[in-house]
A and B are shown apart, each in its own frame.
Chain A
Amino acid sequence: MRRLIPYPLRSLALLACWLILNQTLHPAHWLLGALLGIALPPALSALTPRVTTLRRAGLALALLGVFIKDIVVANFEVARLILGPESAIRPRFVWVPLGITNEQGIAVLAAMITMTPGTLSADIAPDRRWLLVHAFNVDDEAALIGDIQQRYERPLREIFT
């Protein structure tokens, strides 16, 4: 079983994507989706440097909740700034130290920072210990760094091991 389906999570995700895309639960599509789910992940494995195991599904769900709430709050904040005078906006670059070492974890963290309005991940240090973040409006650099570490990085470090 392990040899036939080496990446069960990816296989399941592909099967789910296939069924939702086709909007059907017809047995033929279950079969086709299962075949794709078995055939594609090994072909993609050449692209991923190492296999990551995901843990703490409950924590991941809690993180998703925090993330969605942050998106809504930040959207209103950035909308207010855009509609106000431009001189009130104080943008700047901030280097955020990374405690997380897993590559996929860093990628998810960078994507989450970009998707939250008001912050944008711009670059990563060659040694992957610092993430360059552009903030739309920041008064307190330390608070921004603390927020990112506390809300996103710490949970991600436990999920991606």
Chain B
Amino acid sequence: MNSAAWVDWIVAALMVGGAAFALVGSYGLAKLSDFYKRLHGPTKATTLGVGGVLLAACVFFISAGRGGTEQILVALFLFITAPVSAHLLVKAVLSLNAADRPPQPPDDGQGRP
């Protein structure tokens, strides 16, 4: 087997692996019943799901000799933006259903929790 075929296999494995995690994440979003549980599905898809596809793109473009560094930026921007949207979603639901929010524990009196 020549080297190009090996690269194709690695790229294919990474793509399918990433897609599988994205699929499970979406399935969780569709299947689970409660809002807080469902939110955990999509945050999964953006890490290993997108991570696998990005890694595949990286390997492909490096082996083709056409860069392969933009994927680092995609990962970086995702890691900056994804937590913010998840955080805003939870905050919105918590302000709608104030009863879901557990009371804040008291400090121990030493000024630090």
Cβ proximity bits A16-53 to B, threshold 8 Å, 1 near / 0 not: 01001101000000000000000000000000000000
B63 interface residue per 8 A CB criterion:
no
Complex partner residue of A71 from B47, B90, B112, CB under 8 angstroms: B47
Please pick, from B24, B73, B83, B100, the residue contacting A115 in the complex, using a CB distance under 8 A.
B83
Nearest residue, chain B, Cβ from A91? B37
Main secondary structure on chain B at its contact with chain A?
helix
CA distance A134 to B39 in the complex (A): 10
Residues 20-61 of chain B, each 1 if its beta carbon lies under 8 Å from chain A, else 0: 010011011001111011011101101110010000000000
> Which residue of the partner chain, among B40, B73, B80, B102, contacts A95 with CB atoms under 8 Å?
B102
Bound complex: CA A118 to CA B84 (Å): 16
A134 to B101, CA, bound (A): 10
Is the pair B80, A111 in contact by a Cβ cutoff of 8 Å? Answer: yes
Contact count band on A: 35 or more
Q: Verify if A154 is at the interface (C-beta below 8 Å from B).
A: no
B37: chain A residues within 8 A (beta carbon): 86, 89, 91, 136
Tell me whether A121 and B73 are in contact (CB under 8 A): no
Q: Are B32's CB and A132's CB within 8 A? A: no
From A20, A79, A98, A120, contact of B24 by CB (8 A): A79
Provide the residues of chain A in CB contact with B73, threshold 8 Å: 17, 20-21
User: What residues make up the interface of B, taking CB atoms closer than 8 Å to A?
Assistant: 21, 24-25, 27-28, 31-34, 36-37, 39-41, 43-44, 46-48, 51, 67, 69-70, 72-73, 79-80, 82-84, 86-87, 90-91, 94, 100-102, 104-105, 107, 112-113
A residues contacting B by CB (< 8 A) are 17, 20-21, 23, 71-72, 75, 78-79, 82-83, 86, 89, 91, 93, 95, 97-99, 110-111, 114-118, 120-123, 125, 129-130, 132, 134, 136
